[in-house]
Amino acid sequence: MSYFGDIYRGIKTLLTGMSVTGKYFLHSRKGAITQQYPDNRDTLKMFDRFRGEVVMPHNENNEHRCTGCQKCELACPNGSIEIIWDRQIDPESGKKKKMIDQHIYHLGMCTMCGLCIEACPTDAILWAQNFENSVYNRAYLTKVLNKPGSKLMPGVEE
């Protein structure tokens, strides 16, 4: 008797489960969270705080806010940031001042922890929301964040 009881219970629970899946089968569009990723690239917007990659914004005069204090380099846990700097004569004051030559960012080593951006006293580096970071050559992942010929924005002090 319990043999047939088992079969009965088995079919009953199977139908209970199928009522759940059947509901979604019939209302497949309702509550669907699937993103049609490569097709929705034009409308896809990441959240403002999303950590894609570190960037250094420049204004229209090709000026950035990095003073070369190296706090981001110290804060980075895995050496993703290297700053090559030099003391150059500041045209305004005529004194020698620390200036960055290259702000090198190794995207391939970055763990997106956000400590560099927290450490930056002048908000020179920020998160960009670009997440399509794949490249054909590993060397492309090493980026120089300051643009060629760029200068420090006047008035930015540590």
Partner 1 sequence: MDTTTIKSNFKSEEYFINMGPQHPATHGVLRLLLTIDGEIIKKVEPDLGYIHRSIEKMCERDSYQQIVHLTDRMDYLSSHINNEAVCLTVENALQLEIPERVKVIRTILGELTRLASHQLWWGVMGMDVGALTTYFYGFRDRELINDIFEETCGARLTMNYNIPGGLMFDIHPNFVQRTKDFITHFKTKLPEYDRLLTGNVIFQKRMKGVGILSKEDAISFGASGPVGRGSGYSCDVRKHHPYSAYNQVTFNEVLKTEGDSLARYQVRIEEMWESMAIIEQLIDNIPEGEYKVATNAVIKLPKGEFYQKVETARGELGVYINSTGTKNPYRLKFRSPGFSNLSLLNHIAVGGKIGDLVASMATLDLVIPDIDR
Is residue 17 involved in binding partner 1 (CB under 8 A)? yes
What CA–CA distance (Å, rounded) separates 55 from 143? 10
Kindly state whether residue 141 participates in binding partner 1, applying the rule CB under 8 A: no
Q: Three-class SS string for 3-39? A: HHHHHHHHHHHHHHHHHHHHHHHHCCCCCCCCCCHHH
**If binding is defined by CB under 8 A, does position 131 make contact with partner 1?**
no
Candidate segments 58-66, 96-104, 108-116, 136-144, binder of partner 1 by CB under 8 A:
108-116
How many residues are given for the chain? 158
The whole-angstrom separation of Cα 23 and Cα 36 is 22
| Interface mask toward partner 1 for 59-98; x: CB under 8 A | ----------------x-x---------------------
Taking CB under 8 A as the binding criterion, the range among 15-23, 37-45, 95-103, 138-146 that sits at the site for partner 1 is 15-23
Q: Which range binds partner 1 by CB under 8 A, 3-11, 60-68, 99-107, 136-144?
A: 3-11
Residue 9 contacts partner 1 per CB under 8 A: yes
Helix (H, G, I), strand (E, B) or coil at 140: helix
Under rule CB under 8 A, how many of the chain's residues touch partner 1?
Answer: 26
- What gap in Å lies between CA 98 and CA 156, rounded to an integer? 13
